[in-house]
Structure 1
Amino acid sequence: MLKRFSMPRIPPMNSTSIEISELRQQLDAPFNLSKEQIAFYVENGYVKLKHVLLPSLLEHYRVAISGRVAELSVDVAPMNERDTYGQAFLQIMNLWTKSEAVREFVFGKRLARIAAELMGVTGVRIYHDQALYKEAGGGITPWHADQYYWPVSSDKTITAWVPLQNTPQEMGPLAFCEKSHRFQIGRDLEISKESETTLKEALQNFRTEDSGFDLGDISFHAGWTFHRAGVNASDRPREVMTVIYMDEDMRLVPPKNKNQKLDIERWCPGINIGDVIASPLNPVLYSTREKTNPEAVYA
């Protein structure tokens, strides 16, 4: 029997129009990324950055994001009827196409610029976004690498993982296997019990970073960096918004598995193999080549 996913009551926001305008400006304001932070990302395949966005900004957009997640998660099976993937989190993709407020957040240049600078590219396009909500009592997110799913021509891909509340260990924060973005074993595994078992053994000699996140902290990880998350042992959902970026010159390649074939259909409409992934769903969000003014599908 299906049930409606219920979110905690979202309190009304009392922000003035001036305050909201100031919050929006911060979405595009540059972040002072240090050479040491870039070097850490290149070496380890991820980086956790402190105080990237103001807690008040995240709370403002949390209301919009969580509201749409609740509306779009009307019918979800009970936890005990889902598979390992389904127990890990509720997943709503390309939420920016379903809410103008979410679009504002996802299209912010601050995070996009960080993504470009960490990867050492001139600019980035959006591949897609994902709201990842691990319900209270939600299970583990198995070890996996995101780029298994992506039919792209290079490893210049990166995900911003943005918690919308303080996320201590008990809530299941994202955990990273350091230096695993150069590891070849497991790149043919989709997220599953098998990937958890196989990679847990294969990566046992690598260091794992699994500390919590304060509100305002954001992590960035490479497409081939192996990562996981523990159970949510708290009494409230772990609310997280993510944005996947790719090099603005990224090209579409032939799919290597059924998941990549589905990704071509969903996220790269109208793009031919070998072409730059410049569909209406993949606008440039930040570039040093020219002033960016994303023109993209919104429905």
Structure 2
Amino acid sequence: MEPINLNTEYSLSEDQINQYQRDGHIFLPQVMKKNEINEYRPVIKDHVFGYALENVPEEDRKYYGVEKAFPTIMNMWEVNQKIKRLTFAKRFAKIAADLMGVDGIRLYHDSSIFLPPGGGAIPWHTDSAYMLPIHPDKTITMWMALNHIPEEVGSMGFVSRSHELATEDVLLAARKGYPLASYGAMEAGDATFHSGLTLHYAAGNPTENYREVLTIIYIADNLTIVEPEENKAKEARNYHLRRLFPGRKPGDKAESELTPVLYSKEGKHVE
């Protein structure tokens, strides 16, 4: 059997790149093939269901959730070498670079988001609002299905072109006539990519099965850390500064041993 190689290229057309840059989101089928999912999904499931919150420092536990609706596990790669190979996959990082039109991509963090049966919806938000602020704001999230996601759950929903607004004001986007988009049912290995500035939400789960999703957030290389604003997200953003950029401060480059370069067009050393 041919060994799994996650550094092979996933080719994007010019139309796909233009669509992402216009809309702030895109659906890409089979970013991972069936045999690759079969290899990695059990590892992520074992990690998720065997993970003990006691491993997380008590003062950090409140950050291990998404809107308190269901638990998420961040930076799985730090404690699981096989998941590290997945998180560090050049294939995914190059897709992110090509969509954003940048020469280098750094990891921000990975996470597993397993929505249980009956789990609630996640309301409209942007990822950048809860991430460490960086300048310029060049971030992108891969949201990959690890199992079949039926139509009644579907992909996340997006407000097309809302990344132009750089705001969480859904009403403003509606007044501008920006259209809503969702990609419906997804198969294991399908993925959406969206800008950190794109308004999006995730529906609840009325089915009897978990919605199993792997997310990886990337940032462009050579960005600068900015002081978090005084708002509801400042505490979470300061946590990301401590957790992902230890020893760094506003004005420093957004880089650390926890946010390595995963793809570089110039051939810079890739961790």
The TM-score with structure 1 as length reference comes to: 0.80
Q: Give the SS at the match of 1:63.
A: helix
The CA deviation at 1:271 is 1.7
1:102-181 aligned at under 5 Å gives the runs 102-150=83-131, 151-181=133-163
Deviations 1:231-275 (A, max 9, x none): 111101101001100011122111122221111011111223222
The CA deviation at 1:176 is 1.1
Distance in 1, Cα, partners of 2:267 & 2:204? 43
2:226 is equivalent to residue 224 of structure 1? no
Distance in 2, Cα, partners of 1:43 & 1:104? 31
2:229 is equivalent to residue 252 of structure 1? no
Match of 2:248 in 1: 271
| More moved, 124-133 vs 201-210 | 201-210
The TM-score with structure 2 as length reference comes to: 0.88
The CA deviation at 1:167 is 1.2
Distance in 2, Cα, partners of 1:266 & 1:143? 25
Match of 1:237 in 2: 210
2:16 is equivalent to residue 37 of structure 1? yes
Distance in 1, Cα, partners of 2:38 & 2:251? 41
Q: Which amino acid aligns with 2:67?
A: Y
2:73 is equivalent to residue 92 of structure 1? yes
Q: Which of 51, 54, 59 matches 2:30?
A: 51
Cα RMSD between the aligned structures?
1.9
Asked whether the equivalents of residues 59 and 164 of structure 1 are also in contact (C-alpha less than 8 Å), the reply is no
Report sequence identity in percent: 34
State the 4+ residue runs in structure 1 displaced beyond 6 angstroms: none
Asked whether the equivalents of residues 172 and 231 of structure 1 are also in contact (C-alpha less than 8 Å), the reply is no
Q: Which runs of no fewer than 5 residues in structure 1 stay unpaired?
A: 1-17, 76-82, 188-198, 295-299
1:66-77 aligned at under 5 Å gives the runs 66-72=45-51
Deviations 1:133-187 (A, max 9, x none): 1111100011000001222111211001111012123235311111111124426
Distance in 2, Cα, partners of 1:213 & 1:243? 17
Distance in 1, Cα, partners of 2:189 & 2:66? 29
Q: Give the SS at the match of 1:171.
A: coil
